[in-house]
Amino acid sequence: MSVSILLLYGATLLVSFTTGLVFAFAVVVMPGIRALPDRDFLRAFQAMDRIIQDNDPRFLLVWVGSVLSLIGAAIVLVPVLDGGLRLLLLGALALYLLGVQLPTFLANVPLNNQLQSLDLAKLDGDAVVAARAQFEGRWVCWNAFRTGCGVLTTGLLLATLVLR
C-alpha cells in the first residue's frame, strides 16, 4: 500500500473522529444538558469547552490532524487520481474546510469564547438567562450544520477509498 493511500486512510479516520465529536455534541451532549437550569447549563458547557481550550493533546491530534492529513492527501493524490476520484477528494476537502472548519472558527469558537469570558457567579438571574439565549440556539444550529457537512465529507472520503 502506498504512502499516499495510507495518508488518505489516515485523513478519513481523523475526519471521521472529528465528525463523531460534533455528532456526539449534536445528539447527546447538547440534548443532555438542555434540561439543566440556565446557570448549570452554562457551567456544564464551560467545563467541557475548557478541556478543548486547554489544548488537550488528544483533541488537537484529531482536530488539527484531520485538516493537515486531508490537505496532505489532496496534495499528493489529486495529481494521480482519475477525474471522478479527483472530484470526490476535492469535494471532500472543500466541504470539510468550508462546512466543518470554517463554521467552527467563525461561529462556534467565538460563541465558546464569549461564554468562557462570563463569570457566572457574578451574573444575576436575568443576565444568565440572556447569556444562554445568546449562546445555545446559535451554537446548536452551527453545530448541526457542521455535523451534516462532516457526515457528507466522511461519505465522500469513504467513496474515494472504495472506488480507487
pLDDT digits (tens, 9 = 90+) for 4-63: 899 999 999 999 999 999 999 999 999 999 999 999 999 999 999 999 999 889 999 999
pLDDT digits (tens, 9 = 90+) for 46-100: 999 999 999 889 999 999 999 999 999 999 999 999 999 999 999 999 999 999 9
Residue 4 has a pLDDT of 87
> Is the pLDDT reported for residue 3 higher than 90?
no
pTM over 0.85, yes/no: yes
Q: Which amino acid is at 55?
A: N
CA distance 57 to 102: 21
CA distance 121 to 108: 23
pLDDT band at 1; cut points 50, 70, 90: confident
Measured over the CA atoms of residue 96, residue 98, residue 100 and residue 101, the dihedral's sign is positive
Please state the length of the chain: 164
* Stretch 106-130: mean pLDDT: 97
Cβ pair 11, 77 in contact under 8 A: no
Domain boundaries along the sequence of the chain: 3-163
